[in-house]
Amino acid sequence: MPVPAQRTRPGPRRALTEDQILDAALTLLDAGGANAASVRAIAAQVGVAPNAVYTYFPDKAAIVKALVERLLGQVDHGVFIDRDQPWRQRVEALALELRERLSAHPGAVPLLIGGPMDGPHALALNERLLELLADAGLNPTDAARASYLLIVYVFGSIALEVADLPQPGPLPPESERIDTRLDAFTATPAEHYPRTAAAAAAMAGYISTEQYLWGLRRMLDGITASTTAHTEAAGV
């Protein structure tokens, strides 16, 4: 998003900024879920007529795109940029940081995965991940494939988690979270789906972060197993 040139200075009054509109959209998303951020609701939130929004963004898709970029920009790179840390730990830090940032706004998640993530912040994150995998000793092809695998996992996990949520609004603390998925499985007649019922029982004690990290580590195991020669040389 380029900085507007200084020559086009005020007209009668500039009542808003792009950021205020994105703030309003996010507030609505957090309170009412993915469908709550209508252009009209955003306009009402910031106190203008619906069509005034189109002074700042060409259409709703542009608002969504800018919002997605903003969320990805909030990811703290510090936690996984440190090359002195073991690379697996850095991947875990990245995965946890992304998950935490996105879980903070479940209503925005469907917008995230609803379109291509090709903005500058998305590309910057991808770049960091590729650096990380290069540090791990992967060649460019393996790094590219592994990065896509990890991205699918991170966003897929969050998307399915949000999809299983019973209602819009902020995520409750993990300990109190009601998981529709586990609910459905637990309510499943064991005579029809014995293994699903058993799996629900086996998983009942676990929290989702644990499951998330378990999956992530299995993927890292698989990635390193296929590229052992390189990882040995890379150290740590």
| Nearest CB to its own copies, comparing residues 46 and 200 | 200
Given its own copies, DNA, none, residue 16, with its beta carbon under 5 to 8 Å by kind, binds DNA
Query: Rounded to whole angstroms, how far apart are CA atoms 80 and 83?
Result: 8
Q: 45 Cβ partners below 8 Å, 6+ apart?
A: 24, 27, 28
Which residues are at the interface with DNA (CB under 7 A)? 8, 10-16, 37-41, 47-52, 54-56, 59-61
Closest approach of DNA to the CB of residue 62, in Å:
8
Query: Rounded to whole angstroms, how far apart are CA atoms 123 and 136?
Result: 20
Closest approach of its own copies to the CB of residue 24, in Å:
23
Sign of CA dihedral 222, 228, 231, 236: positive
Look at residue 104 and give its three-state secondary structure. coil
Among the listed residues 207, 222, 232, 235, the single contact to its own copies using CB under 8 A: 222
Q: Can residue 13 be called a binding residue for its own copies (CB under 8 A)?
A: no
Instruction: Tell me the window of 36-44, 57-65, 74-82, 122-130 that interacts with its own copies (CB under 8 A).
Output: 122-130
Query: Rounded to whole angstroms, how far apart are CA atoms 149 and 130?
Result: 12
How many residues sit in the footprint of its own copies (CB under 8 A)?
60
Q: 131 Cβ partners below 8 Å, 6+ apart?
A: none
Given its own copies, DNA, none, residue 173, with its beta carbon under 5 to 8 Å by kind, binds none
Query: Rounded to whole angstroms, how far apart are CA atoms 179 and 16?
Result: 39
Query: Rounded to whole angstroms, how far apart are CA atoms 222 and 146?
Result: 10
Q: Can residue 194 be called a binding residue for its own copies (CB under 8 A)?
A: yes
Q: CA 86, 216, 76 angle in degrees (round to 5)?
A: 60
Q: Can residue 153 be called a binding residue for its own copies (CB under 8 A)?
A: yes
The site for its own copies (CB under 8 A) is made up of 110, 113-118, 123-124, 126-127, 130-131, 134, 140-141, 143-149, 151-153, 155-157, 159-160, 163-164, 180-181, 184-185, 188, 192-196, 198-200, 202-203, 211, 214-215, 217-223, 225-226
